[in-house]
């Protein structure tokens, strides 16, 4: 049996809480410590999830000898510093998406992990879900024929609060890094890095990007049509269309759920998957598997692809 990884969590926000709940579902992970900027926040989080140790500094958390791996769940602008701190203390790291604020930060973080020979992964949990693994297998099998187009959207409505992280520039606000990373990563998973990028951006009331429409072109001739917004709840559907068949994913394409394979003649086959929790336990289990096998990155979310995705998002935002 693989050893049980002892997780240390940096950050106490919503995604950190979801991760703490889901880790227990892996059977190969426990949360042994949490770090926050204040002791009261760390203590409350630790109490809610029966975590034995809580710290009021990230330095104390990464120095804890009973922490095997660190999960960075702070806002985007803190990712680079927090992950670097963990790597410098010889801890493997799982970093929430978007991985960093810039592609330069992403390249430097990956270089640090490779220099230290430590595992590092972007927490794009979608890549580890059973439905997405099956979709990738179908695409790789050639059953769709030549892929012609990918479509995906991710929109959520948020109240107009200038202090909220999606609208606050100081917290890395903007729809692209928080929401757009999902459709961009989905297109990258299927088609790779685009050779042409066009985009139309509408700013939110604080000046950060509020809605982004994207069109990507690829050397293969395929296209991707993607969008994200922080101003409305959109269908959040996705599709992959090929010359012989297409895959349709209903609402919340980035989460656990069913999908339908539609043949060119209209015949349909639905794929359904049983799951528990929110689905973050799949990425936690993937980290445990990779570390157990001595791997420094996951083939499900390779580091060079994470860098390329950051570069693509940067290119999109430069077109505003």
Q: How far apart are CA 55 and CA 116, in angstroms?
A: 25
pLDDT for 275: 85
| pLDDT > 80? residue 198 | yes
| pLDDT > 60? residue 1 | no
**Beta strand segments in 112-146, E:** 120-123
Measured CA distances, 18 to 90, 121, 156 (Å): 25, 18, 18
Q: Is 208 helix (H, G, I), strand (E, B) or coil?
A: coil
Q: Is the peptide bond before 98 cis (omega within 30 degrees of 0)?
A: yes
DSSP 300: T
Question: In which residue are the tokens 């922080």 written?
Answer: 230
pLDDT for 2: 63
CATH number of 130-274: 3.30.360.10
Calculate what percentage of the chain has a pLDDT beyond 70: 99
| pLDDT > 90? residue 306 | yes
| For range 245-253, the mean pLDDT | 96
**Tens-place pLDDT, residues 264-292:** 999 999 999 988 899 999 999 999 999 99
CATH number of 5-124+279-301: 3.40.50.720
| For range 69-79, the mean pLDDT | 97
Calculate what percentage of the chain has a pLDDT beyond 90: 97
Q: Where are the domains of the chain?
A: 5-124+279-301, 130-274
Question: Strand 209-217 to strand 223-229: parallel, antiparallel, or no bridges (unpaired)?
Answer: antiparallel
| For range 16-27, the mean pLDDT | 95
| pLDDT > 70? residue 89 | yes
| pLDDT > 90? residue 101 | yes
Split at pLDDT 50, 70, 90, the class of 3 is confident
Q: How far apart are CA 54 and CA 32, in angstroms?
A: 9
**For the ranges 2-11, 27-36, 175-184, 214-223, which has the lowest average pLDDT?**
2-11
**For the ranges 98-102, 128-132, 164-168, 275-279, which has the lowest average pLDDT?**
275-279
Question: Strand 259-263 to strand 245-249: parallel, antiparallel, or no bridges (unpaired)?
Answer: antiparallel
**Tens-place pLDDT, residues 230-240:** 999 999 999 99
């Amino acid at each position: 049996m693989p050893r049980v990884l002892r997780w240390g969590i940096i950050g106490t926000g919503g995604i950190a809480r979801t991760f703490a709940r889901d880790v227990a579902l892996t059977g190969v992970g426990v949360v042994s410590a949490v770090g926050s900027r204040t002791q009261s926040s760390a203590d409350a989080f630790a109490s809610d999830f029966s975590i034995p140790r809580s710290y009021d500094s990230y330095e104390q958390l990464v120095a804890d000898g009973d922490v095997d791996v660190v999960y960075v769940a702070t806002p985007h602008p803190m990712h680079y510093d927090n992950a670097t701190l963990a790597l410098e203390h010889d801890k493997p790291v799982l970093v929430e998406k978007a991985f960093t604020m810039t592609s330069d930060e992403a390249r430097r973080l990956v270089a640090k992990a490779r220099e230290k020979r430590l595992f590092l992964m972007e927490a794009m949990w979608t890549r580890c879900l059973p439905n997405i693994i099956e979709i990738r297998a179908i695409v790789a099998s050639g059953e769709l024929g030549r892929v012609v187009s990918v479509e995906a959207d991710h929109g959520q409505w948020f109240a107009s609060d200038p202090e909220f992280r999606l609208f606050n520039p100081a917290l890395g606000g903007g729809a692209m890094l928080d929401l757009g990373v999902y459709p961009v990563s989905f297109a990258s998973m299927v088609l790779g890095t685009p050779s042409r990028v066009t985009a139309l951006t509408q700013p939110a009331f604080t000046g950060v990007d509020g809605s982004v429409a994207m069109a990507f072109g690829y050397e293969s001739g395929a296209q991707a049509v993607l969008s994200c917004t922080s101003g409305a709840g959109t269908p959040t559907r996705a599709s992959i269309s090929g010359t012989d068949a297409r895959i349709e994913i209903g609402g919340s394409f980035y989460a656990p759920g069913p999908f339908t394979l539609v043949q060119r003649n209209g015949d349909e086959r639905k794929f359904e998957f049983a799951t528990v929790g929110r689905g973050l336990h799949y990425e936690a289990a993937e980290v445990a598997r990779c570390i157990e096998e001595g791997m420094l990155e996951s083939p499900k979310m390779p580091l060079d692809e994470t860098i390329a995705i950051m570069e693509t998002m940067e290119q999109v935002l430069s077109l505003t």
